[in-house]
């Protein structure tokens, strides 16, 4: 692999060595260049002149320090080790700059190169996995991580998130309205992406922001931040995973957008908690600080029939002379294993939601490996329950203005939408009837979760129980579908045109499928 060379160059008025043991000297008639470089070896600083290319002073940045002696004068101290010796000596170089602006730029470059040397190591191509094993590498499949970082390394996906005004506007308001929390503080942006949250923190008066981003988006973030000169001197972009990087100081505040579908998809919450344990000072703030998963049973005949109808293809007994029906049941179960991502009408909910809170400031990383939510609802109508609807919100607990970001149905739609787990066997319930069950999320190595859902209800002496296993990694995106029902096609009225699908029918192989007809009626077909 060919490693690209990076370089920052400065012109200084003069340099002089504090140590008298060195005979290196430069002509006073031409400028002296100071170049920060990174090739195949460690980052280094070179002092030299064009006419004396072989007489450069080369300094390894590891163990080096830079001190200001005046507005335009600094002292550079480095460790020098002689060949075959474990001990060395300090080398001091006095640097005279043209003005204080040049001095400040040089100091900023030095700090950034020192930080990159500590946290980044040799540059990696997009999606490559380091040979060193970190906690992230141990629990996440390499192929999943490669696709994940490739996805977030593209500007079109960052644009999609930036154009989610609910998301971006809420983050901006949460930061700017709570300037008192950011003013003069050190901030770490976990999974910085384009760097937009780092820029918000700098706008709010942060002393310095360390923007950590593992994908190739880090290079775009550097360009964006460099293009905002009023803020860029207080932001350092670090390319690497939070599980692996080191920072020169502790953070007073962590800011991040670690939420995925159903809050936990992509398992970035774990990295957010790891960043808390590694970088945050005791009692430091987290933006956001709390997340809540909300769940409620729903009734949606249209959605249920839409999913069931997808398996009709496998009913064909002579598809080019081939009987497809042996795969019919597997296909049917496969479609119901996909959680549905869309924005639905809150009138489809048939009971008040219950909530499960996750306090990011207190939870342990291991507690996110498996999340279990006991279910207990009181149904408000007579209907068929087709599954469980889910959404989430997060709290920015600012000291001035606490603010919530919600993805609830009926609220302004975000790029997360809502999520619904549809059961292949609906339940029939009466008003006031109790619905119980369990909703369990188990993390897997593809950076997502397996969902285990069970719902139960008793009608007379008959106990109805329906279960499903769904993969949060493989949802059915349904955002283009119409969500509101007309008054003539309410879900409860559809129930009057269709018999109730009982448990015995499902076991016997009966499923409902919708056939085109002039009156849009529903017919039952045998699979």
What's the chain's length in residues?
527
Q: Which residues contact 336 (CB under 8 A, 6 or more apart)?
A: 307, 422, 423, 424, 468, 470
Residues whose CB is less than 8 angstroms from the CB of residue 123 and which lie 6 or more positions away in sequence, other chains included: 3, 4, 239
Q: How far apart are CA 444 and CA 263, in angstroms?
A: 15
Cα(326)–Cα(354) distance, integer angstroms: 40
Look up tokens 């400031």; give the residue.
361
Report the alpha-carbon distance of residue 178 to residue 366 in Å, rounded: 31
- 247, 210 contact by CB (below 8 A): yes
Q: Decide if 307 contacts 336 (C-beta within 8 A).
A: yes
How many whole angstroms separate alpha carbon 497 and alpha carbon 519?
11
**Strands of the 186-190 sheet, one edge to the other:** 235-239, 208-213, 186-190, 251-256, 280-287
Tokens representing residue 208 in the block: 């310095």
Which residues have C-beta within 8 Å of that of residue 176, sequence separation ≥ 6?
200, 203, 204
Residue 94, H or E segment: strand 88-96
Bridge partners of residue 75, in order along the sequence: 67, 94
- DSSP string of 15-41, one letter each residue: EEES-TT------TTS-EEEEEEESSS
What number of other Cβ atoms are within 10 A of residue 447's Cβ?
22
Question: Which pair of structure tokens corresponds to residue 243?
Answer: 């599980």
Nearest residue to 29 (alpha-carbon basis) of 17, 14, 18 = 14
Cα–Cα distance measured from residue 471 to residue 148, given in angstroms and rounded to the nearest whole number: 17
Tokens coding 289: 């600080």
Closest CA to 182 of 195, 199, 168: 199
Q: Which residue from 361, 400, 397 is spatially nearest to 179, judged by alpha carbons?
A: 400
What's the distance, Cα to Cα, between the start and end of the chain in Å? 56
Task: Judge contact between 115 and 106, C-beta under 8 A.
Answer: no
Instruction: Give the pairing type, strands 235-239 and 208-213.
Output: parallel
H or E, element range at 58: strand 57-60
- Residues taking part in catalysis: 257, 266
């Amino acid at each position: 692999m060919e490693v690209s060379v990076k370089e920052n160059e400065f012109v200084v008025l003069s340099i002089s060595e504090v140590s008298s043991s060195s005979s290196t000297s430069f002509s006073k008639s031409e400028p002296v260049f100071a170049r920060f470089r990174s090739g195949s070896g460690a980052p280094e600083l070179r002092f030299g002149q064009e006419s004396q290319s072989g007489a450069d002073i080369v300094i390894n940045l590891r163990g080096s320090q830079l001190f200001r002696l005046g507005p335009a004068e600094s002292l550079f101290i480095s460790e020098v080790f002689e060949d075959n010796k474990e001990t060395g000596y300090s080398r001091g170089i006095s640097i005279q700059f043209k003005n204080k602006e040049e001095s400040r730029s040089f100091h900023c470059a030095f700090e950034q190169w020192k930080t990159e040397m500590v946290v980044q190591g040799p540059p990696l191509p997009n999606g490559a996995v380091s040979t060193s094993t970190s906690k992230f590498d141990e629990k996440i499949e390499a192929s999943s991580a490669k696709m994940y970082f490739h996805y977030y390394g593209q500007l079109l996906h960052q644009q999609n998130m930036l154009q989610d005004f609910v998301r971006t506007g809420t983050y901006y308001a949460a930061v700017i309205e709570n300037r008192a929390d950011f003013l003069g503080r050190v901030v770490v942006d976990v999974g910085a992406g384009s760097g937009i949250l780092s820029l918000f923190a700098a706008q709010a008066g942060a002393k310095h922001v360390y923007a950590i981003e593992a994908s190739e988006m880090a290079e775009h973030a550097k360009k964006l931040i460099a293009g905002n000169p009023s803020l860029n001197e207080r932001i350092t972009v670090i390319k690497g995973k939070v599980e692996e990087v080191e920072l020169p100081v502790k953070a007073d505040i962590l800011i991040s957008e670690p939420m995925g579908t159903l809050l936990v998809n992509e398992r970035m919450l774990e990295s957010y908690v790891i960043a808390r344990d590694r970088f945050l000072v005791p009692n430091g703030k987290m933006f956001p600080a709390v997340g809540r998963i909300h769940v409620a049973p729903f009734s949606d005949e249209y959605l249920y029939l839409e999913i069931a109808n997808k398996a009709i293809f496998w009913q064909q007994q002579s598809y080019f002379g081939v009987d497809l029906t042996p795969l019919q049941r597997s296909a049917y179960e496969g479609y119901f294993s996909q959680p549905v991502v869309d924005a639905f009408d809150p009138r489809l909910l048939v009971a008040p939601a219950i909530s499960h809170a996750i306090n990011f400031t207190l939870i342990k990383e291991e507690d996110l490996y498996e999340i279990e939510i006991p279910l207990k609802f009181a149904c408000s109508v007579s209907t068929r329950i087709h599954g469980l609807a889910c959404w989430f919100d997060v709290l920015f607990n600012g000291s001035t203005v606490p603010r919530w970001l919600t993805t609830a149905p009926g609220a302004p739609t975000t790029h997360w939408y809502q999520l619904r787990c549809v059961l292949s066997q609906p339940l029939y319930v009466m008003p006031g009837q109790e619905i119980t069950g369990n909703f369990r999320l188990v993390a897997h190595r593809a950076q997502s979760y397996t969902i285990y859902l069970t719902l139960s209800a008793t009608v007379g002496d008959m106990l109805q129980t329906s279960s499903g296993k769904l993969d949060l990694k493989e949802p059915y995106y349904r955002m283009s579908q119409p969500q509101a029902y007309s008054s003539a096609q309410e879900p409860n009225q559809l129930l009057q045109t269709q018999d109730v699908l009982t448990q015995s029918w499902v076991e016997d192989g009966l499923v409902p499928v919708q056939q085109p007809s002039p009156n849009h009626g529903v017919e039952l077909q045998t699979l």
